[in-house]
């Protein structure tokens, strides 16, 4: 079972065996409203923690998506090109955006656990 | 309503032209000749007149009703200003560029020069270029000027700082110019958090882009301090002129440390926009940036004659043909001349008074996240209404049913369910009172009959449009 961590900017990362699957939280997907376009990173791109990884456009706004961890993009969810609504329907599962090869797992200390994230949402 | 193409009847004509007695296209090569007739609608003149008259009756404009679209300054465009534009119509736009041509259009060049001088005076800048064709192009021009300035000085700059309340075009212009964006959050007092701003500032920051008053309609009390900090890092201050209507004659952006400004003539200076444009976005700069301005510049010699100066060495180059949207500038010039200094001050005062009147009368019904004296616009949140399942968009649609153009909704992004109202100075108290009554009705309906709002609009030719489908399945094609 992969462990899930969250950022303050509402991204999540599921970590398993050095690989991180990245997406946006259900809360974020709900706040954005109907998503109309997902700009995914290129495979092979390297990102630093909290740098811009992708962008999501919805009927309300365009938002940058930040990388929860540093690493190299190894896989992207191409299904989102034709069906960005998957992010609305299943933000924390089928609506994942990209997989990265994690560069430094000690960066997890900068992220929140699921429970901590739920507490954080109450403060907003 | 049928499309004009659906009204077409083969062979029907509005005008019958005589047959051509010139040999048909003898000189044109075969490959350029049309194989079949152009697919134009075939209708009578009367069909055509009715079609477009009926279409125009479905339109909404400032000439029909109140248009309180926040951050857009939809003020009345007095009809007399059209006369100013017409006066210049006989002149060919190439005249000034022909050898000796400047002799024949001294009036035109003089108007542009004077307009630049007046805008420089209003904004506290040293020189203005009138070339940029709209606000966003003005921003782009401004950022390119800043970039040219840093390049010339050998500065290594990487970032542009914007508050999170900024217009989306600010970070977009900076990103297109190759800068990375640093966004500074808004503090509870409604302006860019000064402490976080200080942390964001380094010698790698090229510019700080601000709207003042900002998109919450609030004037930043720290603005001078912010400019001083920026300048200590040799970062330039960029003023987004979208909200200039609030401060004309009261504060000159140049006096509080701004180095570059774009002005939206189509907002502040009463020229048409909102589908009726085009826009115009003159850019003003402080002395240090003058060499980089777009060429040709209009200059006045010692005899009071206007000349074109074209020194390409460090200029960012032309940003538009023919000195910009000339007829728009003629209207703005007439507006400034007719109102004069006192008139422009009164414009700002009245615009601010009107916005505060609406804010005070509606704050019992709508949440006001930043409850303080506002400038030319006020920003409510539909959060109270959301408790009943009513969103800002539902209130906006209900206003359409009642004959009003909705305020700006969902902007600024930092206010949840934002409703941003800018009445401008040209509306009477009676008009605003009628609007306020409808806004109060909507707030009451949110509690007693929310479905009424969710079903709106019902009086328009089309109901709720499926915005998601329109954005997801873009399929634009020509009939033919």
In a domain, residue B45? The reply is: no
Flag whether pLDDT at B88 surpasses 90: no
CA B388 to chain centre: 35
Closest alpha carbon to A110 in A65, A67, A76, A52? A67
Q: Which CATH number do you get for residue B239?
A: 3.40.640.10
Mean of pLDDT values over A20-49 = 95
Q: In chain B, what residues touch A57 (CB-CB under 8 Å)?
A: 471
Domains in chain A with CATH codes = 3-122 (2.40.50.100)
* Residue-level pLDDT at A50: 95
A76-104 mean pLDDT: 96
Predicted confidence at residue B478, as pLDDT, reads: 62
Of chain B residues 176-205, which have a CB less than 8 A from chain A?
none
Same domain flag for B226 and B372: no
- B236 pLDDT more than 90: yes
Chain A CB contacts of B472 below 8 Å? 34, 36-37, 84-85
The reply to whether residue A36 touches residue B410, judged by beta carbons under 8 angstroms, is no
Residue B480: pLDDT over 70: no
> pLDDT tens, B237-277?
999 999 999 999 999 999 999 999 999 999 999 999 877 67
Residue-number span of the structural domain to which B402 is assigned: 349-465
**Is residue B387 domain-resident?**
yes
Beta bridge pairs of residue B308: B298
What is the average pLDDT across B359-387?
A: 97
Contacts of B410 in chain A (CB under 8 A): 60-61
The pLDDT assigned to B83 comes to 93
Contact B467 A57 (CB under 8 A): no
Same-domain check for residues B90 and B231:
yes
Asked if residue B156 and residue B113 are part of one domain, the reply reads yes
B410 touches chain A (CB under 8 A): yes
ipTM, two decimals: 0.73
Residues B217 and B357 in one domain: no
Examine residue B398 and state whether it is found in any structural domain, yes or no: yes
Q: Among B314, B338, B362, where does a domain finish?
A: B338
Q: Where do the H-state alpha helices sit in B193-325?
A: 194-200, 223-232, 265-268
Local confidence band at A61 (pLDDT 50, 70, 90 cut-offs) = confident
Which one, of B64, B8, B20, B102, lies nearest residue B309 by Cα?
Answer: B102
pLDDT in tens, B207-228: 999 999 999 999 999 999 999 9
- Answer whether B472 sits within 8 Å of A84, measured CB to CB: yes
pLDDT band at A47, cuts 50/70/90?
A: very high
**pLDDT score of B436:** 98
Confidence at residue B25, expressed as pLDDT on a 0 to 100 scale: 62
Banded model confidence at residue B21, pLDDT cuts 50, 70, 90: confident
Taking residues B135-149, what's their average pLDDT? 97
B472 touches chain A (CB under 8 A): yes
Q: Is residue B5 part of a domain?
A: no
* Per-residue pLDDT, B26: 66
Give the span between the Cα atoms of B256 and B220, in whole angstroms.
11
The predicted structure's pLDDT at residue B153: 97
pLDDT digits (tens, 9 = 90+) for B394-426: 999 999 999 999 999 999 988 999 999 999 999
Closest CA to B128 of B266, B331, B324: B324
Which of A31, A52, A60, A80 to mutate: most B Cβ within 10 Å? A60
| pLDDT higher than 90, residue A69 | yes
Q: Give the Cα separation of B270 and B330 in Å (integer).
A: 11
CB pairs under 8 A between A and B: 19
- Cβ distance of B471 and A61 shorter than 8 Å: no
Residue with tokens 């974020």: A28
Q: Which residue, among A96, A89, A48, has the nearest Cα to A75 in the 3D structure?
A: A96
Torsion of CA B7, B8, B13, B15, to 10 degrees: 60
| Pair (B329, B395) in one structural domain | no
Instruction: Kindly determine whether residue B468 and residue A36, on different chains, have CB atoms separated by under 8 Å.
Output: yes
Write down the pLDDT at residue B363: 97
Quick check: A12 pLDDT over 80?
yes
- Say yes or no: B219 and B85 in one domain: yes
Q: Are B229 and B201 in contact (CB under 8 A)?
A: yes
Put simply, the answer to whether B410 touches A85 (Cβ < 8 Å) is: no
Residue B40 lies in a domain: no
pLDDT at residue A1 in the model: 66
Residue of B nearest to A37 (CA): B472
Helices (H), chain A: 26-32, 79-82, 85-89, 114-122
Whether B168 and chain A come into contact, CB under 8 Å, resolves to yes
Per-residue pLDDT band for B469 (boundaries 50, 70, 90) equals confident
Report the number of distinct structural domains present in chain B.
Answer: 2
Closest-CA residue in chain B for A57?
B471
pLDDT at site A18: 94
> How many Å lie between the alpha carbon of A60 and the closest alpha carbon of chain B?
7
Report the pLDDT value the prediction gives residue B1, as an integer from 0 to 100.
84
Q: Provide the 3-class DSSP secondary structure of residue A12.
A: strand
Q: Which of A30, A38, A56, A59 to mutate to test the interface with B (most CBs of B within 10 A)?
A: A59
CB contacts, 8 Å: B168 with chain A: 62
Instruction: Note whether B267 and B148 are same-domain residues.
Output: yes
Please give the residue of chain A at the shortest CA–CA distance from B416. A31
DSSP state of B72: S
Distance CA B106, CA A49 (A): 59
In a domain, B273, yes or no: yes
Instruction: Indicate the residue among B288, B314, B338 that finishes a domain.
Output: B338
Report the Cα–Cα distance between both ends of chain A, in Å, rounded: 29
Which pLDDT band, with edges at 50, 70 and 90, does B479 fall under? low
The percentage of chain B sitting over the pLDDT mark of 90, rounded to a whole number, equals 81
Residues B173 and B319 reside in one and the same domain: yes
Task: Kindly list the residues from chain B whose CB atom is less than 8 angstroms away from the CB atom of residue A84.
Answer: 472
Question: Testing the interface with A: which of B471, B474, B475 to mutate, by most A Cβ within 10 A?
Answer: B471
Last residue of some domain: B281, B314, B338?
B338
Are B134 and B273 within one domain?
yes
What's the CATH number where B405 sits? Answer: 3.90.1150.10
> Could you tell me if residue B470 is inside a domain?
no
B185: which chain A residues are within 8 Å (Cβ-Cβ)? Answer: none
Question: For residue B475, is pLDDT > 80?
Answer: no
Residues of A with CB under 8 A from a CB of B: 34, 36-37, 57, 59-62, 84-85
For chain B, give the mean pLDDT.
Answer: 93
- Do B316 and B390 fall within a single domain? no
Regarding whether B328 and B253 lie in a shared domain, the answer is: yes
Closest chain A C-alpha to B138 CA, distance in angstroms: 22
Do A36 and B472 lie within an 8 Å CB cutoff?
Answer: yes
Confidence of residue B332 (pLDDT cuts 50, 70, 90): very high
> Do B210 and B318 share a domain, yes or no?
yes
Residue B75 lies in a domain: no
Q: Does B317 touch chain A (CB under 8 A)?
A: no
User: Cα B127 to the chain's mean position, in Å?
Assistant: 21
pLDDT of residue B276: 65
Q: Do A60 and B468 touch (CB under 8 A)?
A: no
**In B, which residues are within 8 Å of A85 by CB distance?**
472
Query: Does A34 sit within 8 Å of B467, measured CB to CB?
Result: yes
The answer to whether B469 contacts chain A (CB < 8 Å) is no
Work out the percent of chain B whose per-residue pLDDT is above 70.
98
What number of other Cβ atoms are within 10 A of residue B458's Cβ? 12
Q: What is the pTM of this model?
A: 0.88
């Amino acid at each position: 079972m992969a462990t899930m961590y969250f950022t303050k900017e509402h991204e999540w990362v599921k970590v398993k065996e050095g690989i991180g699957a990245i997406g946006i939280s259900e809360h974020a997907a709900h706040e954005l409203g109907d998503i109309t376009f997902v700009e995914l990173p290129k495979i092979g791109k390297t990102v630093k923690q909290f740098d811009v990884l992708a962008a999501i456009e919805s009927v309300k706004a365009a938002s940058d998506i930040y990388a929860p961890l540093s690493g190299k993009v190894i896989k992207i969810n191409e299904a989102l090109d034709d069906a960005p609504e998957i992010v609305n329907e299943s933000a924390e599962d089928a609506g994942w955006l990209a997989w990265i090869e994690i560069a430094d797992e000690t960066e997890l200390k900068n992220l929140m656990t699921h429970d901590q994230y739920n507490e954080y949402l109450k403060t907003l | 309503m049928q499309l004009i193409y659906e009204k077409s009847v083969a062979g029907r004509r509005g005008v019958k032209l005589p047959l051509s007695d010139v040999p048909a296209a003898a000189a044109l090569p075969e490959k350029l000749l049309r194989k079949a007739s152009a697919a134009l609608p075939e209708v009578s003149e009367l069909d055509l007149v009715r079609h477009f008259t009926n279409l125009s009756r479905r339109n909404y404009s400032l000439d029909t009703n109140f248009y309180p679209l926040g951050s857009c300054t939809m003020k009345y465009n007095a009809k007399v200003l059209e006369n100013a534009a017409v006066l210049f119509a006989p002149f060919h736009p190439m005249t000034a560029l022909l050898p000796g041509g400047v002799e024949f259009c001294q009036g035109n060049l003089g108007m542009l020069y004077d307009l630049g001088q007046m805008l420089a005076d209003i904004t506290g800048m040293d020189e203005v270029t009138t070339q940029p064709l709209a606000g966003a192009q003005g921003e782009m021009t401004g950022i390119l000027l800043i970039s040219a300035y840093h390049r010339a000085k050998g500065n290594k700059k990487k970032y542009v700082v914007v508050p999170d309340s900024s217009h989306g075009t600010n970070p977009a212009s900076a990103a297109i110019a190759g800068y990375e964006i640093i966004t500074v959050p808004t503090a509870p007092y409604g302006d860019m958090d000064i402490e976080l701003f200080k942390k964001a500032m380094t010698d790698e920051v090229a510019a700080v882009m601000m709207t003042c008053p900002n998109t919450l309609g609030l004037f930043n009390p720290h603005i001078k301090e912010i400019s001083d900090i920026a300048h200590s890092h040799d970062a330039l201050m960029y003023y987004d002129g979208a909200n200039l209507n609030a401060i004309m004659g009261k504060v000159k952006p140049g006096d509080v440390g701004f180095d570059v400004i774009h002005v939206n003539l189509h907002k502040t200076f009463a020229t048409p926009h909102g589908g009726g444009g085009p826009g115009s976005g003159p850019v003003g700069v402080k002395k240090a940036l003058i060499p980089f301005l777009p060429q040709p510049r209009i200059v006045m010699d010692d005899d009071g004659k206007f000349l074109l100066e074209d020194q390409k060495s460090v200029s960012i180059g032309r940003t538009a043909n023919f000195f910009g949207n000339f007829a728009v500038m003629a209207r703005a010039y007439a507006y400034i001349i007719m109102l004069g200094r006192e008139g422009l001050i009164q414009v700002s005062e009245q615009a601010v008074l009107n916005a505060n009147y609406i804010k005070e009368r509606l704050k019992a019904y709508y949440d006001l996240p930043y409850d303080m004296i506002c400038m030319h616009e006020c920003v409510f949140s539909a959060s109270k209404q959301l408790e009943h399942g009513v969103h800002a968009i539902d209130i906006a649609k209900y206003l359409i049913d009642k004959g009003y153009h909705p305020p700006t909704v969902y902007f600024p992004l930092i206010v949840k369910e934002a409703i941003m109202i800018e009445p401008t100075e040209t509306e009477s108290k009676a008009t605003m009172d009628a609007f306020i009554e409808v806004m109060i009705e909507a707030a009451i309906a949110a509690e007693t009959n929310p479905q009424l709002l969710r079903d709106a609009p019902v009086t328009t030719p089309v109901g709720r449009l499926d915005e998601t489908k329109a954005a997801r399945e873009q399929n634009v094609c020509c009939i033919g």
